[in-house]
Structure 1
Amino acid sequence: MNGVTISVAAAEFGRDMEAGYRTIAGLIDQARARGTQLLVLPEACLGGYLPSLGGGEESDEAKARRLRSLPPALELDGPEVRRVIDMAGDLVITLGFCEADGDTRYNTAVTLTGDGILGSYRKVHQPLGENLCYAAGDEYRAFDTPVGRMGMQICYDKAFPEAARMLALDGAEIVTSLSAWPTARTATAPNLEEDRWKQRFDIFDRARAVENQIVWVASNQAGTFGSLRFVCSAKIVGPGGDILATTGTEPGLATATVDVEHVLGLARGGGMYNLRDRRPHLYKALALEAVHA
């Protein structure tokens, strides 16, 4: 059986760019040793994520402090991303960073090889005041790669079924979901396995895979940054919702070899035709700008 070997990381990245490059190099070495063809790294690898998430109750002082602590803004075709391209060789690598487009910042994911950039994506759905720090993207689009047709999402996007469905309808066979997904802000659990937000993270990953009958690859940050503690739980999920490999609640690299064409054929030809049997003419309400509960 032919297959694609996929590795996905739960790893810690902060503001120290050189430390970040060392972490990426180490993960690339581990991935190569496992015969990996696709390596998926977390959101905000180059320069780290935000030190906190805001909300309606956030004070002016807290907002100002967060805005003073933004990650470095890097251009998509700049030397920082080029450095990862030079490290990639024949590996397909997906990773996240803060993108500069003039004076505008985006929370961005990019997929690349040693030959250059294959695709990029700007995060659409923004949680808890992230709009104070980044502009929102406005497109979901699949793209072709040496490991198959792929799509990308970032963190909170996974909570929106429409986002993954758009990628599946654009032919994505593999969707990479990069995160800096933290623990719950209230009623926290000392055991990460019992954390409410960790459980939601896992539910979303499995649901998005099974409802779209795709291979879903979810990376995440690890450790802590600012006030945030991340849940790890990087995983590879098959199109039947089965977890093929996971880091659990620890940092690390999860790896699985997947015959993508075979498993998609089994899922999509096994009596549940999730994409074929849609009735989009009944879904018009989803396109309304305002939905009233």
Structure 2
Amino acid sequence: MSTLRMAAVAAEFGRDLDEDFATVERLIDQARGAGVRLLALPEACLGGYLLSLADDVELDAGPPALAVDGPEIRRLSALAGEMTVIAGYCEADGDTRYNSVVCVNGDGVLGNHRKVHQPLSEDASYTSGDRFHAFDTPVGRIGMMICYDKAFPESARALALDGAQIGVCVSAWPAARTLAAADPAQDRWKRRFDLFDRARALENQIVWLSANQAGTFGSLRFVGSAKVVDPGGEILADTGVPAGLAVAELDVREALETARRSMGHLRDRRPETYTPAGAVSA
């Protein structure tokens, strides 16, 4: 059996790319020292997220737009080296901007995902992606999504059906905007964040890494709570609200085989029954 040591990050990032890369380098060094081979950094960790998701708040120019084949992603790749590193950024495709996440190692880009589901006013800053797909890496077959994507069961299911063994969701998930809890650990949006992580792992019987921003940015207060979840929906490591590194070690192939041995959620699907009466199947 071959085990994989993996980690998900909760950390604070802002607009200054040099400061962000200094934080990324520190976290990669910390993870490398702990023997981590797969590291998930948060959504928008290269350049920061939006200042607010409210329509009535004035925004700045937004995060710097980076090309997936540009110097910044090559810099990330060089820092990753032998590790597989996943990080969120604002992707430039001509004049179009996407909220994206990239997977790299020292050899270059292994995969890229553009956020499909956009909450509240995010669509004023980004164009929506249009697909979910898994891809092969040295540490296994991975499927990626971003933040609000995980609120939709179809997102993770599409990745699992494409053979993903490990689902990685990077987020800039804030605390509730109304009726906010004094203690972020008791915040209702944090509870939803944690429930989605466990449900997506369990229903698809895959390993799940969840990275998130921590601290504050603009009007947003993030809930942290980076974690590693096993295919049974059990949390193996969790940072809680503060910044930190959630590290866990697991034999991924064995864990998936064990979870799916008797009750295989993908195997036992009945897709012909899922279209509501009178609806046109997509």
Name the TM tier (shorter chain). Answer: over 0.9
Does the 8 Å CA contact 1:12/1:222 hold for their aligned counterparts?
Answer: yes
Answer yes or no: is 1:278 the counterpart of 2:261: no
Output the CA distance in 1 between the equivalents of 2:246 and 2:268. Answer: 33
Gaps of 5+ in 2: none
Query: Which amino acid letter does the alignment assign opposite residue 283 of structure 1?
Result: Y
Answer yes or no: is 1:140 the counterpart of 2:144: no
Secondary structure at 2:89 match in 1: strand
1:214-255: per-residue Cα shift (whole Å, max 9, x none)?
Answer: 000000001000000000000000000000001011101110
Secondary structure at 1:8 match in 2: strand
Query: Which amino acid letter does the alignment assign opposite residue 13 of structure 2?
Result: F
1:52-82: per-residue Cα shift (whole Å, max 9, x none)?
Answer: 002xxx33xx3xx22x331111111111111
Gaps of 5+ in 1: none
Does the 8 Å CA contact 1:38/1:93 hold for their aligned counterparts?
Answer: yes
Does the 8 Å CA contact 1:50/1:69 hold for their aligned counterparts?
Answer: no
Aligned residues: 280
Secondary structure at 1:198 match in 2: helix
Runs of 4+ in structure 1 off by over 2 angstroms are: none
Percent identity, please: 59
Q: CA RMSD in A?
A: 1.4
Change (3 A) 1:21 1:289: farther
| Structure 2 residue aligned with 1:95 | 87
TM-score (norm 1): 0.93
Does the 8 Å CA contact 1:51/1:69 hold for their aligned counterparts?
Answer: no
Residues 36-185 of structure 1: pairs in structure 2 closer than 5 A: 36-54=36-54, 58-59=55-56, 62=57, 65-66=58-59, 68-185=60-177
How far residue 190 of structure 1 moved from its aligned partner, in angstroms, is 1.1
Output the CA distance in 1 between the equivalents of 2:9 and 2:203. Answer: 24
Query: Which amino acid letter does the alignment assign opposite residue 175 of structure 1?
Result: G
Query: Which amino acid letter does the alignment assign opposite residue 272 of structure 2?
Result: H
How far residue 192 of structure 1 moved from its aligned partner, in angstroms, is 1.3
Query: Which amino acid letter does the alignment assign opposite residue 16 of structure 1?
Result: D
Output the CA distance in 1 between the equivalents of 2:211 and 2:36. Answer: 15
Structure 2 counterpart of 1:200, from 192, 197, 219:
192
How far residue 193 of structure 1 moved from its aligned partner, in angstroms, is 1.4
Does the 8 Å CA contact 1:51/1:227 hold for their aligned counterparts?
Answer: yes
